[in-house]
Structure 1
Amino acid sequence: MIEAYSRDWWRATLALCLGSFTVFVNLYAVQPLLPALRQDFDVSTLTASLAMGASTLTLAVSLLIYGPLSDAIGRGAIMRITLLLATLCSLILPFVADFTSLLLLRSLQGLVLGGLPAVAIAWMGDEFDKPALMLAVGFYISANTLGGIGGRVLGGIAGEYGGWQASFLSVGLLSLICLAVFWRLLPPARCFKPSPLRLGVALASLGGHLRNPLLLGAYLIGGLNFFIFINQYSYITFRLSDAPYALSTQWLGMIFFTYLGGTLGSALSGRVAQRLSQPVCMMLGIAILMAGSLVTMAASLAMILLGLTIAAFGFFLAHSTASSWVGRQALRARGSASALYLVFYYSGASLGGFYLEPFWQAAGWFGVIAASWLVLAMTMAIAAWLWWRERVDLISIR
């Protein structure tokens, strides 16, 4: 087993962080480009947002494929090949002739982008001892956030000077460099033991998780919160690209630095959970997300950015706690339980635009926030129910 701070630990951790960074750079680079895509292809806001939603939906589906497949054939090859294919998609995207082709290619890209997130932590679990694993996962999750920020900022800056085509090309070239380093650094697997691919057993495990109300509650909280949160960011780009703000693509990319509030929320979630129960932490995160959403109603750009930062803090506090709750409540097949959480999570991201679009058309940003509060009230109620169930279980044990 690889020990913490050894040469192989540093190589593997850096490789997996670069891989994670590459995945989320490619996934989210399109978000600040949505107003430009709407204008260039003469499509609606909902249709333009599908450039984001199509890839998150196929990524969600792919997570159910790569996990069991990696148990049978190994994880390193899946990560290398899928990263290569995702990079090639970004390099081809600048040359599409119509929006339909762009959507099809983004859908394919989402399908291959799921390869690394689905198996990276499992690779660490195979090869690292426990202390090394805990340290490496912290770095890995940080790389997720930085990739999301980096993709949006790079996409926005490149789009400002060369159009959306330059954004995809820049992301593709950066990904090519990261891929080369990833390929070189990732050590060969030494402790992996293949197991037969048994579809019936995998499906039975997934069904068991869905019948567990404590897990299903967390799945709904993660999925519905992301359903709102990520699509608020999509619609805020439309709001801020119009008068009176008229932000260019470059500056639309910069607004995603507010995601750093989420980085802080994730980092503090463990400490908060030591003082409060996990469902209460989820309720707190949802309340902060709701409050931040209200702040974005202000006319001042500074207040809008503050509101987004607050919302990001609350969302990631709830998300980190909900995903941790899944690992704690799953009595068996924890890998598939966590994968199912991510399926709900990314499915929510891909479907939220369909829900928010009528509210946006009817009442603009006020409609988006009103619609957000309706869904967040539901997730608050689910978290409160989990808190009640936890208290009942504790009383019954006593």
Structure 2
Amino acid sequence: MAEKSRSPRVSLLLLGAAAFIVIADARVIDPLLHIIANEFEANVGTTAIIVSAYTIPYGLFQLVYGPLGDRIGKVKVMTGAMAAFAIGTAGCAFVPNIALLTLLRFLTGMVAAAIIPLSLAYIGDNFPYAERQAAIGRYLSALMLGQILGGSIGGIFGDYLSWRDIFLVFGVISLLIAAALWRANQRLDEPIKLQDRRGKSGFKPWGKSGFKPYLQLMKSPATRLIITAVFIEGFFLFGGFAYLGAFLRDRYNLPYIAIGFMLSGFGVGGLIYSASVKWLVSRLGEQGLIFTGGWLVCFGYLAIVMFQNWILFIPISVLIGMGFYMLHSTLQTRATELAPEARGTAVSLFVFSLFVGQGIGAIALGAIVDSAGGYIHCFITVSVSVALLTLWLYSQRQRLNAAGS
């Protein structure tokens, strides 16, 4: 278990601000996908490459930042990454074609990868397990606000300004956050715990090969369960979510600002979860959160298909958001205990699996969207797959419990 630090530590507010801008930058694309496709004269499924260009490197580079943060300091790595993220994001405002936009989204996803997993690992180092789910829940509030405001702001810029301007604004804000992290880092004496030692899990935090820590982690059945589950979650839930904005535009011809606000219901559901997390954990337990959350997501995507009314989409998106955070936060909390002596590495593997799943899922489900089946077949696929994931996790509850023991 983590020891609670007595030395000064970075506030959850500052860590949350960094997470907010990274998530908002990722989600701002959702209501803008259609308008970007129109500007570059491409179809929606093809334009979704800018989603995968961000999420796949975001996942892949978890494998770099986790051990690096454990070795030289989590806050130090986050500071450098946020500065590079600011430059790349601002550069997206000036691209002349979709190829260059794809490249810059790749580069910003590559450096954005450091922020959230290292923040979660930093929280894990400073909060004991009994308090950690509540602390992570408060931290996730910033991610949820990013979900809410990212889509809403994207819709506003899409309708009234330019999709390019939002990247310039985000770049400036990111630079200010990087400066605040640098200043906070000067006051820290962050412990570096990667000395040749083993924790109770038998995990050696650093090896001769850069992939050795991850291979050692994957020897654990509980680790394989969590990493596989979060990959499936990212592939289907977020892979499908990328097309909700375009679906609302094509099916109901709604303005982009309305689409942005409607997609923000996902984050509202997350805020409801965050506000009630202590009560939910005490009443449902971790297994109950996974089971209930998974079925809420399943029902939400199925309801989009069954009740084709844009007004009903608002409460449906709230249900999907709440269900996702009930499921995901529980898996995330378990992931912080996979290797207590190297949480940066363990959490990075977790986030790697989530975002690589999302990137591949957006491409795979895009093929369904561009086919004769269209959006409806895509959302049915997501609903059925999340239902099967939920049943599988419930059947594997003993192995899942082993991850936190």
TM tier relative to shorter chain: 0.7 to 0.9
C-alpha separation between the residues in 1 aligned to 2:122 and 2:337?
20
Compared with structure 1, are the counterparts of its residues 382 and 294 closer, same or farther at alpha carbon in structure 2 (3 Å cutoff)? same
C-alpha separation between the residues in 2 aligned to 1:98 and 1:109?
17
The residue aligned with 2:373 is 363
Identify, as 1 or 2, the structure richer in helix. 1
Match of 2:383 among 369, 373, 376: 373
The residue aligned with 2:117 is 118
Bigger mean CA offset, 188-197 vs 159-168: 188-197
Compared with structure 1, are the counterparts of its residues 101 and 257 closer, same or farther at alpha carbon in structure 2 (3 Å cutoff)? same
TM-score, normalization: structure 2? 0.85
Letter matched to residue 384 of structure 2? L
Alignment of 1:1-398 (within 5 A): 8=8, 12-124=11-123, 128=126, 130=128, 134=132, 137-186=136-185, 188-193=187-192, 195=194, 198-200=206-208, 203-243=211-251, 245-259=252-266, 260-269=268-277, 271-276=279-284, 278-297=286-305, 298-328=307-337, 333-360=342-369, 361-387=371-397
DSSP 3-state at the match of 2:96: coil
C-alpha separation between the residues in 2 aligned to 1:187 and 1:136?
24
Compared with structure 1, are the counterparts of its residues 184 and 158 closer, same or farther at alpha carbon in structure 2 (3 Å cutoff)? farther
TM-score, normalization: structure 1? 0.86
Number of equivalent positions:
387
RMSD: 3.0
C-alpha separation between the residues in 1 aligned to 2:169 and 2:109?
18
Aligned residues of 2:295 and 2:323 also touching (Cα < 8 A): yes
TM-aligned CA deviation for residue 319 of structure 1: 0.7
Aligned residues of 1:28 and 1:151 also touching (Cα < 8 A): yes
Letter matched to residue 237 of structure 2? F
Aligned identity (percent) is 24
TM-aligned CA deviation for residue 179 of structure 1: 3.5
TM-aligned CA deviation for residue 341 of structure 1: 1.5
TM-aligned CA deviation for residue 175 of structure 1: 2.6
Aligned residues of 1:55 and 1:109 also touching (Cα < 8 A): yes
TM-aligned CA deviation for residue 106 of structure 1: 0.2
CA deviation vs aligned residue, 1:111-142 (integer Å, no higher than 9, x gap): 0111222322444555x475998475443221
Aligned residues of 1:231 and 1:352 also touching (Cα < 8 A): yes
Bigger mean CA offset, 325-334 vs 89-98: 325-334
Letter matched to residue 254 of structure 2? L
TM-aligned CA deviation for residue 325 of structure 1: 3.0
Structure 1 residue ranges, 4+ long, deviating more than 6 angstroms after superposition: 1-4
Aligned residues of 2:269 and 2:322 also touching (Cα < 8 A): yes
C-alpha separation between the residues in 2 aligned to 1:108 and 1:249?
27
Could you tell me which runs of 5 or more consecutive residues in structure 1 were left unpaired when the two chains were aligned: 394-398
Aligned residues of 1:231 and 1:349 also touching (Cα < 8 A): yes
Aligned residues of 1:292 and 1:311 also touching (Cα < 8 A): yes
Could you tell me which runs of 5 or more consecutive residues in structure 2 were left unpaired when the two chains were aligned: 196-204
Q: Which structure would you say has the larger RCO, counting Cα contacts within 8 Å and 6 or more residues apart?
A: 2
DSSP 3-state at the match of 1:230: helix
Compared with structure 1, are the counterparts of its residues 124 and 275 closer, same or farther at alpha carbon in structure 2 (3 Å cutoff)? closer
Bigger mean CA offset, 318-327 vs 328-337: 328-337
TM-aligned CA deviation for residue 201 of structure 1: 6.9
TM-aligned CA deviation for residue 305 of structure 1: 1.8
Letter matched to residue 368 of structure 1? C
